[in-house]
Amino acid sequence: MSRKQISEYIFNRIKEAGVDCTFGIPGDFVLPLYAAQSKSGLRTVVMTHEPSVGFAADAYARLKGLGVALVTYGAGGLNMVNATGLAYAEESPLLVISGGPENKHRSQRALLHHCVKTFDTQNNVYGEVTAANFIITDVHSAKTKIDEVFETVQTASRPGYLELPRDLMASEIEMNGAMEKTNRTTLVLPSKVDEKVLQSICQRIRNAKQPVIMAGVQISRFNLLGSVRDISEVLNIPVVSSIQGKTAFPESHPNFIGIYFGQFGDEAVREFFESCDCIIAIGVVLNEMETGGFSAKLPSENLILINNEEIRLGEEKIEYKETAISATEQFKAFLSALKANITDKAKGGLSKKFALPVLASKSERKYQPKDNLSVSYIISAINKIVDNNTVIVCDVGDCLYAGLSIKTDCFIAPGYYSSMGFGVPAGIGVQVADRNKRPIVLVGDGGFQMTGTEISTAVKEGLSPIIIVFNNASYAMLKFIDVESERSYYKLPTWDYVGFAEALGAEGHRAKICGEFDLALQKALKTNRPVLIDAIIASDDISPTLKRLTELVGKKMRSTVVS
Amino acid sequence: MSRKQISEYIFNRIKEAGVDCTFGIPGDFVLPLYAAQSKSGLRTVVMTHEPSVGFAADAYARLKGLGVALVTYGAGGLNMVNATGLAYAEESPLLVISGGPENKHRSQRALLHHCVKTFDTQNNVYGEVTAANFIITDVHSAKTKIDEVFETVQTASRPGYLELPRDLMASEIEMNGAMEKTNRTTLVLPSKVDEKVLQSICQRIRNAKQPVIMAGVQISRFNLLGSVRDISEVLNIPVVSSIQGKTAFPESHPNFIGIYFGQFGDEAVREFFESCDCIIAIGVVLNEMETGGFSAKLPSENLILINNEEIRLGEEKIEYKETAISATEQFKAFLSALKANITDKAKGGLSKKFALPVLASKSERKYQPKDNLSVSYIISAINKIVDNNTVIVCDVGDCLYAGLSIKTDCFIAPGYYSSMGFGVPAGIGVQVADRNKRPIVLVGDGGFQMTGTEISTAVKEGLSPIIIVFNNASYAMLKFIDVESERSYYKLPTWDYVGFAEALGAEGHRAKICGEFDLALQKALKTNRPVLIDAIIASDDISPTLKRLTELVGKKMRSTVVS
């Protein structure tokens, strides 16, 4: 029976998952792990601050199926709880590995630096924001625990946490032959109930006048695009995405018609969507953001919902049975069976062909180069340069709502959890995951001020994100949902963003008018350095989506703000 | 019986504690609280990123006895867990107030933005890093819970957490007459055991040949300087500080002789301290940092330890009894009684006068203006400009060890928990607490890259910190404790710190030689704007303390690094 050091085993598992790079910041409690990582042939992209480590690793995870953060104890680990919470909420397979104080000290009081209350503090905290969390305190159970955390992260697509005491990293553990791999490629329908449900769903689709597929983020998290595309193509069903599900179904596909974001979203899409008599929502969790603040019209008589928690069919809710097969696997199996039923003629596949709608195309406003720069011009200019290698990465705020209007096949944003500061580090994670991609990062000035220093990480790593700062010198979204917009705490400090980018080794351009913005974009496309564009927009210039949102949500907010 | 809105009651309590300003970043879940705060006449210093909010409020708390962070739910609250952990470890009275999702939704599943697993996630996380934490879910118990959190934070000098659902902020609660105040000014000896212990301690001091007081941080946390100074003066006992206790006893006092940091610290102080036959350690918790990595010589036969957890007298450990009077109050009472016994002649006070040692003064190296800038020159230059209004604020790394050699009466640093990124935001907290103070912030380049953007907050607030960046382009401390110093992950990205400061609206100066550093300091003293000095030092230039530390700790580290 062969033996491996714990650290070696961990890095082997990371490599087997196709991960070629971790994200982190070194610190004394994690140094032996960093040294072991170098030996394993992996490396860490060192960021400037731990919140960014979490965001970058999360973005990498969304593209590669696993992202790893390698941080020190306390000052490191406790500094990315928010980023891990985001990954949990948005089902991103982020694995946090933290060094820890020596195991041999565990019997004593925690009087070491980076310790808070007890040796369990950090693990307890991570228990609240991960799907699996362990401190390795015992060599004999180490392998099982490590395997369990990896398995959970990779199959449930949720974050996990592993803490390794500094004195156990080089301890050897026994390998049981080859690395265990769970073979779950043969998907079977778990029960007869599902067969009945399956037939009811087919029946509903068959009887529908106009069905529509609502594509959710779980389609990309669990690699289900094949099935969804087949269903859509065979029956010629139009597809909308939810906000989190943007690009889970490729926007270049002829059946894709837009994003449905309840009463906040595009009006033509909304009108069509709400006229459909059969909504097949796949991989969507009906949370606040996916439903446009619960404004989405999803009448239960028209709704078929299939996700990794349940199947809903009209008023009927079918929960997955607790078996050895996880809910996610049952969801995947069910979708696979549904696809087969619909597409396989031998199985009596549906032969109907529905019609795709022709949505009224919006008359685009014509801009002159001297016109003041606006959110809508930024979007139309970016739409002209998006290609197959572009990844649109959005932070939170109006840049996200504006970004929804960019037609792309790869879009990354914290659309549900909505943590500011995600954009710039996520752009790094995206490009580290695939060097052929070029991220265009849309970020508000508030979000940029949180983590914009990561531009220097991009410079150091030879990356080339194009970062567009929506500069309106305020927390614009808050301002718009409040009764009073001129409160001092909505004003942001003034930064010279161009000077900032240059100080960090990147290129910077300022754009106040449309012509300047075009020129800046052209320059950005000609260089392979990171580029920041300071896009100066009027303080009252917001996207149509945010306008609708603040009109509707603002009312609710106003009623609770003590003014 | 009068009634108040919950938010109004909270801001009243904050004002009653002498706090005139909170720190935070607005967000939708906390907007009603921000509005209520404006109404109450308080304001928030809006920072750029939540980790900084925690550090600034912590520093404010250390000077004022209470500091308040006002943040939004999830993306806000979960983004300052590390800062709160630091406050817990270092006994700083930081109160975190977070908005929260509507109480009326609590019976449902948590499907709102900024939510992770359940509505309790954030409160559970804060339970791990605070001394008291509550979500207000019920109007009837609101006042009791709010009072309990305030009481705990203020008396135990540890962080607390209050979460207010957005829909309860304006709810009214009943006031029971005046605001309750616990009157604890009359301190009494809680038991007879203590009287015996007291006499033993006096006896020990009386019999000592050379006693020394080791002053710890709890002296400043619990306002105990009066007693300690009296004991020191009446018996003419020399005083050293622990690393965390620096300036808990004023360094300008004639009895102060230096900092004892075990085998890592100043040699003359160490030699004298270790020759003493009676060590009176007051308000020191003997953790890793306070004991110089457990290298301090504190033989139990010579040690008298009095802190808020226990009294130690030789081998004897006396724990405080669990009574209605908290351990902290018992500690204060005991120290007060000790002081009375020693100083009050009527009570048979000690009449001995010990001698103060004359420590060998170090021959200062002479520098020429053209000499390359070095850590030791920075310290000697700062020592020349420190005055009564100076506060020395240190981040973590060699800047902290170097900072120990600056003679000052006000010093703020995360000396135990050791979180990087503390310096710049803490400088803001310090000056907001007292506008007459001028902070000199010593920060490594690694720590600066984490939170240096807060310079723009200083600009916005009209503050004037002098920020000295120890620029050696690396995580120097890690490099020095590792077997191999040239690992790629110790290299920091190159920043133009002067350009960075200017882009954020501050003044910037670069210094490579001693003369340039002097000039930069002179310019800084002449302006009331924030100033950054990019102090370029050689990559192998470290303080004598770090040299000793890496020699001793490095050995231990090297043995565990998997190379």
Mean per-residue pLDDT over chain B, rounded: 92
Chain A partners within 8 Å of B166 (Cβ): 560
Question: How many CB pairs below 8 A link A and B?
Answer: 270
Q: Do B562 and A48 touch (CB under 8 A)?
A: no
| Run of H or E residues at A429 | helix A423-433
Q: Do B451 and A49 touch (CB under 8 A)?
A: yes
Q: Do B503 and A503 touch (CB under 8 A)?
A: yes
Distance in angstroms (rounded) separating the CA atoms of residues A63 and A92:
10
Chain B partners within 8 Å of A35 (Cβ): 482, 484, 487, 561-563
Q: Do A418 and B7 touch (CB under 8 A)?
A: no
Q: Which residue of A has its CA nearest to B458?
A: A493
A384 burial type by CB count under 10 A (0-12 exposed, 13-18 middle, 19+ buried): exposed
Structure tokens at A262: 């309840």
Q: Do B51 and A51 touch (CB under 8 A)?
A: yes
- B107: distance to nearest CA of chain A, Å? 15
Chain A partners within 8 Å of B116 (Cβ): 85, 88-89, 128-129, 417
Selecting from A7, A117, A487 the residue whose C-beta is nearest the C-beta of B128 gives A117
Chain A partners within 8 Å of B557 (Cβ): 28, 31
Distance in angstroms (rounded) separating the CA atoms of residues B293 and B415:
12
Q: Do A89 and B286 touch (CB under 8 A)?
A: no
Which of the residues in chain B have pLDDT under 50? 178-180, 182-187, 562-563
Selecting from A48, A85, A495 the residue whose C-beta is nearest the C-beta of B74 gives A85
Chain B partners within 8 Å of A168 (Cβ): none
Selecting from A417, A482, A562 the residue whose C-beta is nearest the C-beta of B169 gives A562
Chain A partners within 8 Å of B167 (Cβ): 560
Distance in angstroms (rounded) separating the CA atoms of residues B308 and B315:
18
Distance in angstroms (rounded) separating the CA atoms of residues B447 and A99:
20
- B127: distance to nearest CA of chain A, Å? 9
* ipTM of this predicted structure: 0.95
- A338: distance to nearest CA of chain B, Å? 27
Chain B partners within 8 Å of A475 (Cβ): 26
Q: Do A170 and B562 touch (CB under 8 A)?
A: yes
Chain B partners within 8 Å of A34 (Cβ): 487, 489
Q: Do A487 and B38 touch (CB under 8 A)?
A: yes
Domains along chain B?
3-174 (3.40.50.970), 192-347 (3.40.50.1220), 375-555 (3.40.50.970)
Structure tokens at B320: 């405080």
Structure tokens at B434: 């007292």
Selecting from A85, A475, A505 the residue whose C-beta is nearest the C-beta of B116 gives A85
Structure tokens at B410: 């006000």
- A193: distance to nearest CA of chain B, Å? 26
Residue to mutate among B43, B453, B497, with most A CBs inside 10 A, is: B453
What is the reported pLDDT for A381?
Answer: 97
Strands B303-306 and B310-313, how do they pair?
antiparallel
| Contacts (Cβ under 8 Å, ≥6 apart) of A115 | A73, A74, A101, A121, B89, B417
Residue closest to B179 by CA, chosen among B408, B8, B311: B8
Chain A partners within 8 Å of B449 (Cβ): 48-49, 453, 456
Chain B partners within 8 Å of A416 (Cβ): 113
Selecting from A5, A451, A503 the residue whose C-beta is nearest the C-beta of B499 gives A503
Q: Do B51 and A503 touch (CB under 8 A)?
A: no
Chain A partners within 8 Å of B5 (Cβ): 562
Q: Are B202 and B220 in contact (CB under 8 A)?
A: no
Selecting from A28, A459, A495 the residue whose C-beta is nearest the C-beta of B503 gives A495
Percent of chain B with pLDDT over 70: 94
Q: Do A35 and B561 touch (CB under 8 A)?
A: yes
Q: Do A500 and B503 touch (CB under 8 A)?
A: yes
Chain B partners within 8 Å of A44 (Cβ): 489
Residue to mutate among A39, A82, A108, A130, with most B CBs inside 10 A, is: A82
- Tell me how many degrees the CA angle B67-B68-B70 measures, rounded to the nearest 5: 160
What is the reported pLDDT for A184?
Answer: 44
Distance in angstroms (rounded) separating the CA atoms of residues A311 and A326:
14
B139 burial type by CB count under 10 A (0-12 exposed, 13-18 middle, 19+ buried): middle
Structure tokens at A351: 């032969």
Chain B partners within 8 Å of A43 (Cβ): 488-489
Torsion of CA B326, B331, B336, B337, to 10 degrees: 100
Structure tokens at B471: 């620029």
Q: How far is CA A484 from CA A300, A435, A488, A530, B25, in A?
A: 38, 45, 10, 38, 17
| Contacts (Cβ under 8 Å, ≥6 apart) of A196 | none
Q: Are A485 and A479 in contact (CB under 8 A)?
A: yes
Q: Do B78 and A82 touch (CB under 8 A)?
A: yes
What backbone phi and psi angles, to 5 degrees, belong to B390? -80, 135
Q: Do B49 and A74 touch (CB under 8 A)?
A: no
- A346: distance to nearest CA of chain B, Å? 41
DSSP state of B246: B
Q: Do A113 and B74 touch (CB under 8 A)?
A: no
Tell me if residue B88 falls in helix, strand or coil.
helix
Distance in angstroms (rounded) separating the CA atoms of residues A275 and A290:
19
Give the count of beta carbons closer than 10 Å to the beta carbon of residue A362: 11
Chain B partners within 8 Å of A169 (Cβ): 560, 562
Burial B303-329 (b: 16+ CB within 10 A, else e): bbbbbbbebbbeeeebebeeeebbbbb
Residue with tokens 């992770």: B116
Q: Do A128 and B116 touch (CB under 8 A)?
A: yes
Q: Which residue of A has its CA nearest to B6?
A: A562
pLDDT in tens, chain A (563 residues): 689 999 999 999 999 999 999 999 999 999 999 999 999 999 999 999 999 999 999 999 999 999 999 999 999 999 999 999 999 999 999 999 999 999 998 888 888 899 999 999 999 999 999 999 999 999 999 999 999 999 999 999 999 999 999 999 889 999 875 445 544 444 455 565 678 899 999 999 999 999 999 999 999 999 999 999 999 999 999 999 999 999 999 999 999 999 999 999 999 999 999 999 999 999 999 999 999 989 999 999 999 999 999 999 988 898 888 777 888 989 999 999 999 989 877 666 677 899 999 998 777 789 999 999 999 999 999 999 999 999 999 999 999 999 999 999 999 999 999 999 999 999 999 999 999 999 999 999 999 999 999 999 999 999 999 999 999 988 888 888 887 878 999 999 999 999 999 999 999 999 999 999 999 999 999 999 999 999 999 988 999 898 888 888 776 665 555 44
Rg (CA), chain B: 24
Q: Which residue of B has its CA nearest to A415?
A: B113
